[in-house]
Each structure stands twice: as structure tokens, then as C-alpha cells.
Amino acid sequence: MPTESKSKRSAATAKPSPADRVAVRKTYKLYIGGAFPRSESGRSYPVTGASGELLAHAAQASRKDLRDAVVAARKAFGGWSGATAYNRGQILYRIAEMMEGRHAQFTAEVQAAEGGSQAAAAAQVDAAIDRWVWYAGWTDKYAQVVGGANPVAGPYFNFSLPEPAGVVGVIAPQQESLVGFVSVVAPVIATGNTVVVVASSDRPLPAVSLAEALATSDLPGGVLNLLTGSAAELAPWLAAHRDVNCIDLTGIAPADRVPLAEAAADNVKRVYAPPAFDPAADPGTARLGAFTETKTVWHPMGV
């Protein structure tokens, strides 16, 4: 029986060279209730890099996607707000650990989205990781700083304590694709709220990759829900939604905030409209208090 030559057998079993391999393209989806759905509308939009090259097509969230995200956030609120502050801090720190392990990936995505040097992109990733650690440390300390026992005239104990406001809608900064995103969502969930966040419209990819880290960081599904697409399209529905308790307009230009604040006022929603986001500024505790409510408890002495 004729046999193949050694050279033919070698050619048939040779591995393809790296130049011949077709890379697996990443699909960027929404993050709602701990899952990664595509938009129910079937829409997507092109995301380009700093030099104009096509990076990917991101899901363009619809009003229905926003409603689904609010439902998921409300469902998760009871468990997340009822968790111990120490446990929430552990989970936020775990997110920082996950980001540290994927530092190179985040650096490459930030640099592709925003341009600049690799060192500058790496510095933004470092800052984003440090923000998670900062707010993780505050979870079990904030109530001690702003709460306390109040002196009253009578045989009563009187305590004031901060409690989470509920479901918070956030429009993330449009420029700082990663550190800006972390800076607006970490303090919201640190105090026990759940969040529906609209990522930067032009630079959403680092935020979507962060959602993938969240999915494996012990953060319960529904605590953070990420939408990509047009902030101009989604923000009015987020401001008017009656099951959203607060809205953060950081990513909205000051001139465009008035109609959103009016829509929020119609359903007595708290509006947080800070000055322009500065990634180099000290994070402080202002954002922790922006989405908490002070509750006072009276208790008779000797009972």
C-alpha cells in the first residue's frame, strides 16, 4: 500500500502561523441583572478610537432596556442594602482585585479610546482601581462619621443614621472613560444603593469590560446595571422614571440639565448636578452623602 512521504505528512499536520489566525472579535453588550443581553431593539452603533479607526460596535440601549435595568436594580436593592457594610466593602475591594489582574487589558482599551501614551492610560487605570479601594474603605465608616447619638430632653435615646436612598440613575462622564465611570458608580453602591448607569456614549468599551469583571467579583446581579448608547436619548426617560429615586447628571452638560431636573421634579426625584468632573480631584465623601437619607430613631431608656 503506498504511503505518504514525510514531507507531505509534515505539511498536513503543521500548525498555522500566527499571521494566518483570524482573531476572535469581542462582542460588547449591555449588563442588566447580572446578564449580558443585546439591546432588545437590535440596534448597535460604531465606536471609533482616538485616531478614528473602528474599534467595535456597541449595543444601543432602548427605553425598554432602561426599564428592564430599573426592574433589576429594584429587585436587587433589598438584598444589597440589607447586606452588612463590611460585606459591601469586601465586594468593592474584590472588584479592585479583578481590575488589577486585568490591568493590561484596561490600559489597552483606555489608550485606544482616548489616545495619548500608554503611561497615561495606565495611570487612569491605576486611579480607577484606587477609587474602588477608597470607597471600599468607607462602607463601614461613613455611618459613624455622619451619624450619631443626639442629645434630647427626655428619657430617650435618639440616633440619626444614613440609609441608602434606593435606585439611582447615573449619566457617566463622557470624557474619562474608566476613572470617570468608577468615580460615579462606586460611591452609589458603597452606601447600599443600586444603580442604572449610562456609560460614555463615545467611549463605552472600557466600562463594558469593567462589567465583565463585576460579573465575577461577587457583586450580586442587578446592583449595577450598565447601558450603552445615547445619553441624550436615555437620560430623559431615566429622569422621568417613577421607580428611580435619585439621578446623577455628572455626564450631562450644565446647559442641558434643566429639562432633566424638571422631569425629575415631577416625581420628587433627588437630582445631583455637580460641577464638571475632575479626575484629579480628591474623591472625598460628597458623593457618598448625595444618595443617602438620614433616618432618626427614638428609643425609651430602660426598655
- Please state whether 53 falls in left (phi above 0), alpha (psi between -120 and 50) or beta: beta
- The pairing of strands 246-248 and 270-272 is parallel
Residues 6+ positions from 266 with CB-CB distance below 8 Å: 240
- The pairing of strands 292-300 and 54-59 is unpaired
Residue 280: its pLDDT value, please? 85
pLDDT cut 70: percent of the chain above it:
94
Domain range list for the chain: 28-300
What is the pLDDT confidence band of residue 7, given thresholds at 50, 70 and 90? Answer: low
Residue 146: its pLDDT value, please? 87
**Position 18: which residue type?**
P
CA distance 63 to 176: 25
Q: Burial of 18 by CB count in 10 Å (0-12 exposed, 13-18 middle, 19+ buried)?
A: exposed
Q: How many residues does the chain have?
A: 303
Strand partners, 169: 196, 247
pTM over 0.85: yes
What are the pLDDT digits (tens) for 154-189?
Answer: 888 877 888 999 999 999 998 888 999 999 999 999
Residue 160: its pLDDT value, please? 83
What is the pLDDT confidence band of residue 10, given thresholds at 50, 70 and 90? Answer: low
CA atoms 17, 19, 24, 28: torsion sign: positive
DSSP 116: S
Residues 290, 269: contact at Cβ < 8 Å?
Answer: no
CA distance 181 to 251: 10
What is the pLDDT confidence band of residue 82, given thresholds at 50, 70 and 90? Answer: very high
State whether residue 163 is helix, strand or coil: strand
What are the pLDDT digits (tens) for 198-236?
Answer: 999 999 999 999 999 999 889 999 999 999 999 999 999
CATH classification number, 28-300, choose in 3.40.605.10, 3.40.190.10, 3.40.50.300, 3.40.50.720: 3.40.605.10
